[in-house]
Amino acid sequence: MSIKLPHDHGQSIEQELDNMPSVDEFQTAADIFKQLGDGSRIRIFWLLCHCEECVINLSSMVNMSSPAVSHHLKQLKSGGLIVSRREGKEVYYKAAETAQAQLLHHMIEALVEIACPST
């Protein structure tokens, strides 16, 4: 199903439109970016890409209250970016082992490197 654009600017973009992701797919990407719209949440996610930890230790690592960390963990978990497991009374969190979580981890590290290059 090719779309014929009203103006021809010589770019032949019409063929690419057939391969454009759906509106729902773009919304999924936007929802993920919304979750990462908070620096503290990105930092918690980054930590969980490198270790499995409980709320108390995460709170200490990021110098935030346990309720604040729990709030961020809930959002990350609802977005499928982290998973949890219970061991006795303790709950441990880590990054989900999905392509999506791995891509976001690499993207965060690349963006930090670009924004803050080593001198």
With respect to residue 107, please indicate whether it lies within any of the assigned structural domains.
yes
Task: Please compute Rg for the chain using Cα positions.
Answer: 19
Q: Which domain holds residue 48?
A: 22-115
Report which of 40, 73, 39 is spatially closest to residue 54, judged by C-alpha positions: 73
- Residues forming a β-bridge with 53: 93
Q: Are the CB atoms for 66 and 55 separated by under 8 Å? A: yes
Report the CATH number that the domain containing residue 96 is assigned in CATH: 1.10.10.10
Q: What is the pLDDT of residue 114?
A: 80
Domain count, the chain: 1
With respect to residue 10, please indicate whether it lies within any of the assigned structural domains.
no
Report which of 74, 92, 93 is spatially closest to residue 35, judged by C-alpha positions: 74
With respect to residue 7, please indicate whether it lies within any of the assigned structural domains.
no
Torsion 33-36-39-42 (CA) sign: negative
Q: What is the pLDDT of residue 8?
A: 72
**pTM for the whole structure:** 0.78
With respect to residue 14, please indicate whether it lies within any of the assigned structural domains.
no
Q: Are the CB atoms for 48 and 84 separated by under 8 Å? A: no
With respect to residue 2, please indicate whether it lies within any of the assigned structural domains.
no
Token duo for residue 3: 């779309």
With respect to residue 80, please indicate whether it lies within any of the assigned structural domains.
yes
Q: Per-residue confidence of the chain (119 residues) as pLDDT tens digits? A: 567 777 777 777 766 777 888 899 888 888 888 877 899 999 999 999 999 999 999 999 999 999 999 999 999 998 899 999 999 999 999 999 999 899 889 988 888 888 776 65
Residue 100, judged by CB atoms within 10 A of its CB (0-12, 13-18, 19+), counts as middle
With respect to residue 32, please indicate whether it lies within any of the assigned structural domains.
yes
With respect to residue 8, please indicate whether it lies within any of the assigned structural domains.
no
**Tokens 């391969």 appear where?**
19
